[in-house]
Each structure stands twice: as structure tokens, then as C-alpha cells.
Amino acid sequence: MALERLEIQEAVGKEIKLTNVPVQGATARIPLPLNPDPNGSIEVLIADQVVAQQPVGEPESGFYKVLVPRSGLLNHTGLNKAFSYILYNEDGNAGYSESTRYDILHS
């Protein structure tokens, strides 16, 4: 079964405007899985290309937060871009999310 879709905090509806994204990047909110592994890691993908990778860290309000660099968004500007993530447990086993689509716009 696929993991739940991520959300981009700075998106308005299904649009991410780069003018609304902070310098450090956009925040991907990853819903906590049923059995979270505090020693796991997350990769965020746009169009099946990894744009961010980090340890899961401490969840906040039922979500892991992953910073997606502006450069990753800039490299994928355009309409209907698929965002997804892969959640790895400590043993390296992977769980794959369903994708969600956003338009990445300059302004």
C-alpha cells in the first residue's frame, strides 16, 4: 500500500510560486506512517528525480518536514509536476508515496 501524499506548505491550491518560497526552500510536509522509524530517512522527488534527502528527524504535528531547495524547484518549473517521497527505515527497506501534482511557477 502506498504512503500518503506529501503537501508543500508554501503552495496555494496546486500552485507553487517561487516568489512565495523562502530563500532556504519550500517545506514538504510528510504524513507520519503507521510505524514510524526514528532512524529512517526520506527522499523527496520531483518528476522521479531526488531533490532533497535527510534523516526523518522529529515529527511536528503528525508530519515530518523536509526542506526542498529552491534550486530543485527551479530545475522543475512547469505545469503538473509529480511530487512524491520515499521513506526508508533503518534497515534500508523503502516505502513509496502516492504522487501529488503541483504547477511550479516563477511568479
Say what the pLDDT of residue 74 is: 96
Residue 1: pLDDT over 80 = no
> How does DSSP classify residue 22?
-
pTM, entire model? 0.96
pLDDT tens-place string over residues 8-17: 999 999 999 9
Angle at 42 between CA 41 and CA 46, to 5 degrees: 160
For residue 85, give the H/E element and its range.
strand 78-88
pLDDT in tens, 26-71: 999 999 999 899 999 999 999 999 999 999 999 999 999 999 999 9
Name the pLDDT band for 80 (thresholds 50, 70, 90).
very high
> Which pLDDT score is estimated for 3?
97
Structural domains present in the chain: 7-105 (2.60.40)
